[in-house]
Amino acid sequence: MFYNPLSLENKVALVTGAATGIGASCVEHLARMGAKVMATDIDSAAGQKAVNNLVNDGLNVAFSQHDVCLEEDWNRSVKSTLEKFGGLDILVNNAGIYIGGTLLENSLEEVRRVQQVNVDSIFLGMKTAASVMKIGAEAGKGGSIINLSSVAGLIGVPGHSAYGASKGAVRLYTKHAAVEFGKLGYNIRVNSVHPGLIKTAMGEQAFQDFVDVGLAATIDEAKEVIKTMTPLGKLGEVEDIAQMILFLASDAANFITGAEFTVDGGMSAQ
């Protein structure tokens, strides 16, 4: 029988920020490759609706309301995953927010908020998941953690300093965790994914920010600016990111940890 290393049969995943956009696409891709998936989001109405659609399509998916800034919500969502599906092999730390504006315009409150959501959630997610995933723990098989960073965590972009700083922290948190988990024998791989400008609600916010800081006159013009900055000459789709995450979650990426994967149409290669 042909062995498909991308198959996720008998694996259990938890995906945060799963109600819309990249998160929702990740849930569907992982589930269609055989995983049992706990989708979590702070927006319970949108999250439950998205999950219901997938369940009606025959996929093994459940939903848990989840504020990724709260440790008690992490404990509850991970516990619910173990109770519902009997394990945890994959964590996709996708939830995050975007706050734009120039460095001189940003308030300390805005900077602290974006750090809280985008960085604290990575810490809490890795800590809570790894404590049950590591060898000898409750789930006990090891697995894969994928942290969503951004191309703004790799290169400088006008009007993105607060957001980019938070995503740069995600990049290095990933590397430190990967080395630590490997050296301590947890059998948990940790990698980061760095999307470019993707067609999502958050992407639209970024385009508006280009207008607000004076880099483009309209959102349509902002999109053309980004396309010009991107060697492939187009914007990304949520499926582009979900497919990379699917690879990193699977056994096909068995010898990959501590790495960063840009899915940005070549923007950061210039």
How does DSSP classify residue 49?
H
What's the half-sphere exposure (Cβ side, CA atoms, 13 Å) at 41? 23
C-alpha to C-alpha distance for 253 and 189, rounded to whole angstroms: 9
Catalytic pick among 98, 163, 173, 186? 163
- Is 163 catalytic? The answer is yes
Q: Quick check: helix, strand or coil at residue 143?
A: strand
How distant is the alpha carbon of residue 267 from its chain centre? 19
d(C-alpha 129, C-alpha 121), whole Å: 12
166-181 burial string, b = 16+ CB within 10 Å, else e?
Answer: bbbbbbebbbebbeeb
Residues acting as catalytic residues: 163
